[in-house]
Every structure is written in structure tokens, then in C-alpha cells.
Structure 1
Amino acid sequence: MPGTRKLGRKTQPRMQMLRGQVTYLLDIGYIETTVTRAKEVRALAEKMITLGKKRDLASYRAALAFITKESVVKKLFDTVAPSLSDRAGGYTEIFRTGYRRGDGAPMAIIKLVNFDIVKQEADKKAERARRAEERAKKAEDAAEDKE
């Protein structure tokens, strides 16, 4: 157990939640969650990445025992850990994003340091703009055909 935060849950449900969040973080590259959960996830994710950097059978099996998807373990050992091999720790970053609307809980994004969230958001915006431009052109062509 990485820390002493109970997160309002008993041990087994808490560990299942954290295992799921670590799995999703390693699969996608970032997650948005509460600040306290992000701090717990950070400790566990860094341990999994350290296992991935060892690249031996015992480490692979230990990661399989914790991470809920085998495909994520393969990704961890094949891509994530080698890309972070030059770092001696600090594989994740936590950015506070404000407060949750419903209950006012402080929220944060936890991401892997080699994951560029800004680039991904820019790509999404560019794709939306391109689609809007195509729709406008189709509407213009349809209006010309009508006349």
C-alpha cells in the first residue's frame, strides 16, 4: 500500500479503484480525478513503471498481478518504460484543474511526463475545424445547386 489515504473506502474496493486508475493511466497516458486520488495513483504508477524498466520475468509477472489488462502490461514493457528509461523517477505530473461542479472536490489531471496532452487537444481542435469547414462547403455547394 503506497500511502495512508483511505479515500472513503475499505481496503479491497480502494485497491480495485486504484488498480483501475493506474491501468487507465498507463493505457491512455492521462486521467482526470481528484487531487488525493491522483497522489495515490502517482505512487502506484511510478512503481509499475519502475517494474517495466527492469524488463525481467519476475517484474512482468508482478505487473500482471497488479494491472488489470494484459495489453496494458505489454504496452508498459514495450513502449512506456523504455521511453522513460533515462529518468530516475518522477514519471508522472499532476496538474490541478479546479473544482468539481457537483461537490466542490479539487480536481487534477495526472499524466505521464512523455505524454503531450496539449498536442492531442490541438489535434482534436484542428480536426473539428476541418470538419466544420467541410460542412460549410457542402452547404454552400448545395445552395448553389438549388439556384
Structure 2
Amino acid sequence: MRHNKRKHKLGVSGPHRSAMMGNLATALITHGRIETTLSKARALRPFIEKIITLAKKAEKANDAARKLHYRRLAISRVRDKKAVAKLFDELVTEFTERNGGYTRIYKLGQRIGDAAEMALIEFVDGNDEGYNPKPKKKAAKKATKKAAKKAAKKATKKVAEEAPAEEAPAEEAPATEEAPAEEKKDA
């Protein structure tokens, strides 16, 4: 039984898994969002959040030795100095007000070749509205057709209801409207 064993193993050995997580974290830090399998995205989420927490601790630290210590801890996990520098210098300011939940995962469906569940993992910004996929064309067309039909029915009902009521005053209205128009021309 796997009681109290929460690590995502991903079917690989320990060193392979740590290298894979480091590479995925590097790609996520560099690009802001990556597309990967759902299981790898779920394994990457706690990994990258711990590294972001290290960056936040380094930002709050007063002495240079403590900042360097947190940076080295992050480098030991990510193994890319440029990505860690970008995280510690640029990206950490986006997460200072946020207590966890730095990433978001979207399911994208199955991959064509092997039917693996794909996902998009990205950083969450303070002003971020999220990933807005393009609406499916069929659903959008159906919605617009239904809305057009409803509008047409309402318009025909209104015209049918208003037409008999307007016919009688319509004959009187042109005579009264023509008189003021003639007065304006004379003036």
C-alpha cells in the first residue's frame, strides 16, 4: 500500500525525475507557460512552488549570506543559473503578495499520438484573467443562429402587435407633420 507516499514518481528513477523536474521548471521560468502531460504538470506544481517560496524568502532576507543561501538552494534543484536569476530578480515581485498558488493548470485534452492527457501549466499573475481558449466554431455558430432566430421572432411579434394600432393614427400624422414643415420653410 502507498500510504503517506505523496511523491509523483512518473515511472522513472529518482535522478531522472529530479533532472526532469529541473528541466520543466527551467522551461516554465523561461517561457511563463509550457505544455506537457497532465501528470508531469501536477508533479511540477509543488516543485516550482517551493522554488518560488525560496525566492520570496531571499527577497525578505536582510543579509547577503541568507540571500545567497536561498539562491544556491534553488540552483541545486533547477540547475540553470540564468533561469534562477530571472526568477529571483524579475519574477519574484509578481508573487510577493500571494501566499501559494503561483501556478495554474489547464487540461488540453488527449495527445494524438499516444492519447496522453495534455495540460498547460502557467504562472498566475495578479492582473491575469487566465487562459482564454478560442471558442469552438460550431458552438459559436449555433449560439448566434439561436440568438438571431429569437430576435427575429420578437421583432415579428412586435411588428404584428404595433401595426394595427399605428395604422389609424398614421393617416392623421402626415397631415400634421407637413404643416409645421411648411411653416419652417416660410420662416
Question: TM-score if structure 2 supplies the norm length?
Answer: 0.59
Note if 1:40 corresponds to 2:24: no
Whether the 8 Å contact between 2:18 and 2:77 is mirrored in structure 1 is no
Q: 1 CA distance for matches of 2:105 and 2:7?
A: 19
The corresponding residue for 1:10 is 13
The corresponding residue for 1:105 is 116
Tell me how far 1:3 sits from its aligned partner. 4.0
The structure with higher relative contact order (CA 8 Å, sep 6+) is 1
Q: Secondary structure at the match of 1:8?
A: coil
Q: 1 CA distance for matches of 2:10 and 2:81?
A: 27
The corresponding residue for 2:57 is 54
Change (3 A) 1:15 1:95: same
Which of residues 28, 31, 36 in structure 2 aligns to 1:25?
A: 28
Tell me how far 1:66 sits from its aligned partner. 1.3
Q: 1 CA distance for matches of 2:72 and 2:8?
A: 27
Whether the 8 Å contact between 1:33 and 1:107 is mirrored in structure 2 is yes
Aligned length: 119
Q: Secondary structure at the match of 2:90?
A: helix
Change (3 A) 1:34 1:20: same
1:117-132 matches, cutoff 5 A:
none
Deviations 1:33-85 (A, max 9, x none): 11111011011000010001112221111011111221111111111111111
Whether the 8 Å contact between 1:3 and 1:40 is mirrored in structure 2 is no
Q: Secondary structure at the match of 1:17?
A: helix
Tell me how far 1:116 sits from its aligned partner. 7.7
Quote the RMSD (CA, aligned, Å): 2.1
Q: State which structure, 1 or 2, has the greater radius of gyration over its C-alpha atoms.
A: 2
Q: Secondary structure at the match of 2:92?
A: helix
Identity between Structure 1 and Structure 2 (%): 37
Question: TM-score if structure 1 supplies the norm length?
Answer: 0.74
Q: 1 CA distance for matches of 2:48 and 2:57?
A: 15
Gaps spanning 5+ residues in structure 1: where? 122-147
Q: Secondary structure at the match of 1:103?
A: coil
Gaps spanning 5+ residues in structure 2: where? 59-66, 134-187
